[in-house]
Amino acid sequence: MTNTAFRTPYFMINEDKLIDNLEKAKRLKEASGVKLVLALKCFSTWGVFDIIKPYLDGSTSSGPYEVKLGHETFGGETHAYSVGYSEDDVREVADICDKMIFNSQSQLHAYHHLIEGKASVGLRLNPGVSFAGQDLADPARQFSRLGVQMDHLDLPLFDSIDGVMFHMNCENKDVDAFIALLDTISQRFGAYLDQLEWVSLGGGVFFTWPGYDIDKLAAALKDFSEKHQVQLYLEPGEAIITQTTDLVVTVVDIVDNGKKTAIVDSATEAHRLDTLIYNEPASLLEASENGEYEYIIGSCSCLAGDQFCVARFDEPLKIGQRLHILDSAGYTMVKLNWFNGLRMPSVYCQRSHGEVDKINEFDYSDFKRTLSRWSTH
């Protein structure tokens, strides 16, 4: 079956590209001793975990179902973190996680006794510094609820925890900027870290970006873990899955209301939400920077401002033509929704040996089921 036979919209994950990223992860691990746990919040299409598992040490989570999914489908170490646990959540995940990381001192005090003897206990600290392009995604933003700040720390609590987690980066491609954050952590928290077994430095370190100096990062991580005598972790999501996946769509109409808009059979609001939330236009495989023909690539949702990007092409677009929206895996499939009753993209994986595996497919019954299971009578 050729790819043109697949009905759009669909995601196509490319195994070779995924392995390129994973080989970089392996290099980082070998050179630094850091352990890597996949952040399921970014990517949890478990149908391709068999490709990822041999390279990483486990998974980390941001809510109770992710813990369960990581335990069931990824294996290795399962880290459980949530911004806010209910007591039921803690009881449900305590038996299946290896590390339980609380977001606040009040949650730690309330639930510590439920974890004792079951999992290693950690606390998220907020270092007060960060690398993040947008305020919405900045863990160190004013009044941040993410982690305990230094001046609120009840220091004796370090006797009751095994590790801490800092997450302060968002798509950080600058190794020196990361090392500066690491130095700040070492200075501010170093004396306390020395008492711990492990430290997680969270996600957002873009070590798979072309040209990223992995050896420099590895050396800095190694120094840090030797200095404080801790096992270090990183929690990569985007770095693992970046540049591996296209969202393939079809042009269903072209309208001209002062500017030409090609309307495609997908929508950012339903299928690529971060394009909208972060106002970051998508990139298209078929676009050409100096192309003669410019189009808005418009969504088929009802939201007036819902568009993928503005792009130029060497040839005029045609109805029925397919477009590949690049880099559409991280924080994308995990956020799919049924707004407007649009057809949900299928998921495929282009394997290294040439075959295409079907990973997921949806139909009307899935749409209906998410809306109600029972009706009033």
For ligand PLP, the closer CB: 42 or 121: 42
Task: Put residue 168 in one of left, alpha, beta given phi > 0 → left and psi -120 to 50 → alpha.
Answer: alpha
Binding mask 134-173 for ligand PLP (x = CB under 6 A): ---------------------------------x--x---
For ligand PLP, the closer CB: 171 or 269: 171
Nearest approach in angstroms of CB 144 to ligand PLP is 12
97 binds ligand PLP (CB under 6 A): no
237 binds ligand PLP (CB under 6 A): yes
246 binds ligand PLP (CB under 6 A): no
Using CB under 6 A, which residues numbered 197 to 236 contact ligand PLP?
202-204, 235-236
Q: How far does Cα 233 stand from its chain's mean position?
A: 16
Binding residue per annotation — 238?
yes
Strand partners, 358: 348
Which pair of structure tokens corresponds to residue 368?
Answer: 């209906």
Binding residue for ligand PLP (CB under 6 A) from 12, 18, 34, 39?
A: 39
Nearest approach in angstroms of CB 44 to ligand PLP is 12
Nearest approach in angstroms of CB 56 to ligand PLP is 12
34 binds ligand PLP (CB under 6 A): no
Strand partners, 169: 131
Half-sphere exposure of 343 (CA within 13 A, CB side): 15
Strands (E), 52-187: 58-60, 77-81, 99-102, 120-126, 148-149, 163-165
Nearest approach in angstroms of CB 320 to ligand PLP is 35
Nearest approach in angstroms of CB 275 to ligand PLP is 16
Strands (E), 209-283: 231-234, 245-256, 260-264
Which single residue is written with the structure tokens 């949900």? 344
Which pair of structure tokens corresponds to residue 300?
Answer: 């088929």
Taking CB under 6 A as the binding criterion, the range among 38-46, 173-181, 209-217, 221-229 that sits at the site for ligand PLP is: 38-46
* Rounded Cα distance, 175 and 167, in Å: 16
* Rounded Cα distance, 278 and 240, in Å: 20
Nearest approach in angstroms of CB 277 to ligand PLP is 13
Judged by CB under 6 A, the number of residues near ligand PLP is 13
Per DSSP, helices labelled H in 124-272 are 175-193, 214-228, 238-241, 268-271
* Rounded Cα distance, 25 and 186, in Å: 24
Which single residue is written with the structure tokens 């092409």? 313
42 binds ligand PLP (CB under 6 A): yes
Q: What are phi and psi of 249, to 5 degrees?
A: -130, 165
238 binds ligand PLP (CB under 6 A): yes
Binding residue per annotation — 274?
yes
Strand partners, 121: 100
Residue stretches of the annotated binding site for substrate = 238, 274
List interacting residues with ligand PLP (CB under 6 A): 39, 41-42, 167, 170, 202-204, 235-239
